[in-house]
Chain A
């Protein structure tokens, strides 16, 4: 009888441990990741980006570029090429973004013009507030 109750107690203990070992992972699994530290919005002066020109920035760890397009206004795009992750460069003459690795070409909306990229460049949110440009 003693052995029996010992076995039962041991089983209850292991069973409870097992249950706990699944409840904790389940909890962690379902809980969303902690709120990301809000990436501070980046402020640059409007005069830093004259018409037709562009300015390279780093926003939240992502290399990006702000382009002042004649007639179409400002746009902020990630510089990370969607092909293999090289950084695209602004080609002022031809009004396009060019990836130096495999000649992926994007227009100034971030859309693919030619070359191997599978997806358009990521757009970053951008606001103009008076004389400053706020990204993020």
Chain B
């Protein structure tokens, strides 16, 4: 009995003693961290803007945003507009860096806070120059919308939208130049979906595709058909590599299946043999 008590004391006591100094760090770093950023439970912007006192067009903003690609990636009001979502009284003051509706001229910088690569190419493009010259050219929101912003697709280029300012002919040529790479990207997306269905999280391939597409789309914002055509080959090559990678993984899955089927038939066979054996009298 004495030994039991003694050994229990040692088992419980020693780790407690040795970890005494570590406790605080442990509690701070380990116990309370949620491992994926800060949880914001209350958001003053959304609370007010979705309340009944708001004008309907202001209320729509939160609904639009909730449907957006930004919302799906945890990009919230303050990430674009500044301000402080935790403090309702000061949330929309300039001290807290709040920016309301940017003017057309300000919009590229407004979006370019994050999308800096695209901003650069846009500013050099005909679109960007037109905006600077006239102050009411095609800024980001003209094509991408403002709050309900979706993942960019090739469908953004269409006759209705482009012919608001100029003829569609040149835009059509641009769309054709883009088509090959975009189509390929769609195929890869399908491949990625197939991998996901097979229980694989294709992080590497997804990143590779993202990277390639972003570079391509950044390039596209120069609206320079010649440049896009020149570099399409480079992008299709990169996409081909991703496609191969996906195909290899899918082939690998097929060999898994075959091996598992082989084991299944072995066990099934042994089951049948045991059954027959139990039906065979010993004489």
Contact = CB atoms under 8 A, between A and B. Distances in A.
Contact of A21 (B120, B211, B262, B273): B262
A4 B269 contact: no
A85 B210 contact: yes
B200 interface: no
B273 to A, nearest CB: 5
A123 to B, nearest CB: 20
Interface string B187-212: 00000000000000000000110110
B151 to A, nearest CB: 13
B226 interface: no
Interface string B267-283: 10110011011001011
B210 A103 contact: no
A4 B280 contact: yes
Interface residues of B, number: 27
B214 interface: yes
Interface stretch (A12-20, A31-39, A40-48, A69-77): A12-20
Given A84-B210, A86-B211, A103-B115, 16 more contacts: A3-B280, A4-B280, A4-B282, A8-B277, A11-B273, A11-B274, A14-B266, A18-B267, A21-B266, A85-B207, A85-B208, A100-B118, A100-B218, A102-B115, A103-B114, A115-B114
B137 interface: no
A14 B117 contact: no
A14 B276 CA distance: 14
Interface in A77-129: 84-87, 98, 100-103, 115
B57 to A, nearest CB: 29
B67 interface: no
